Every structure is written in C-alpha cells, then in structure tokens.
Amino acid sequence: MTKREMVCVSCPIGCAVTVELDDNNEVVSVKGNTCPRGDKYARQECTHPERMLTSTVKLEGGKLPVISVKSASPIPKEMLFEAMKEINKVTLKAPVKIGDIVIKDILGTGVDIIATNES
Ligand code: SF4
C-alpha cells in the first residue's frame, strides 16, 4: 500500500488530498477532498493524469507576431510535449477570432486547440 499526497486543482480552494493505492496502483481510498470533484480529480490524477495546454502560435499579418491558444479541454499529460511540437509547426494568418480552431483533434485526442485572443 502506498500513499500519494496531492492538491486538488479543480477549484481555487486547493484541498490537500491523500490517495491510498494498492500494490497494483489501484486507488483504495481518497481522503481530504471536501467535494466529489476532488475524489474524481485524485482518481484521475493517479490513473490517467490530464492537463490543460496553453501556448502561443505564430501569426502573420496581425497586431502581434503570436497569438495565444489553449486546448478546449484537458489532454493526457504524457502527450503535452508532442502536442507542443504540433503547435509550434503552425503559422496562422490574421484575422483570427477568439474560439477559432487552430488544430482540430490534436494527436487524435479528440481535443481541439483554439485561439484565446483575436488578431
Ligand atoms: S475537493 Fe472540491 S472543494 Fe476541494 S479543491 Fe477540489 S473541487 Fe475544490
């Protein structure tokens, strides 16, 4: 049995959560969360961690040489590095609107990369 300590990042309160894992890395218990979202976060963090991705993409013809982007929802943590490589290959042309899809279904995750600013 092992214990993992983590901070739930599902809301600004940031509860300290303790997860007990058995020898097969299966979650046995989650303690310290003060709402169900913390339980869900802790279980996912132990089995299939995901993160939101935020970055910038090169932009031609805009007010600035780059524009900010983010993943529309979290993507698997282990894919963040490859996703950044894909994002770095892209050059957009102005005009770009907030919410425009920059990369659809990045790396087959089902998650789009979208613009978070306008050019
Ligand atoms: S457990 Fe609930 S209250 Fe605590 S940080 Fe997570 S979402 Fe917020």
> Based on the domain organization, do 36 and 76 belong to the same domain?
no
> Based on the domain organization, do 30 and 62 belong to the same domain?
no
Mean predicted confidence (pLDDT) in 21-40 = 95
Interval between CA 58 and ligand 1 midpoint (Å): 36
Contact 76, 93 (CB under 8 A): no
CATH number at residue 66: 3.10.530.10
Q: Which amino acid is at 39?
A: D
* Domain range enclosing 88: 54-115
Atom 4 in ligand 1: residue holding the nearest Cα = 15
Q: How many domains does the chain have?
A: 2
Distance CA(91)–CA(30), nearest Å, equals: 44
> Based on the domain organization, do 89 and 105 belong to the same domain?
yes
> Based on the domain organization, do 83 and 102 belong to the same domain?
yes
> Based on the domain organization, do 26 and 43 belong to the same domain?
yes
Decide if pLDDT at 71 tops 90. yes
Contact 110, 88 (CB under 8 A): no
Decide if pLDDT at 1 tops 90. no
Q: Mean pLDDT, the chain, as a whole number?
A: 96
Mean predicted confidence (pLDDT) in 103-107 = 98
Q: What are phi and psi of 87, to 5 degrees?
A: -65, -40
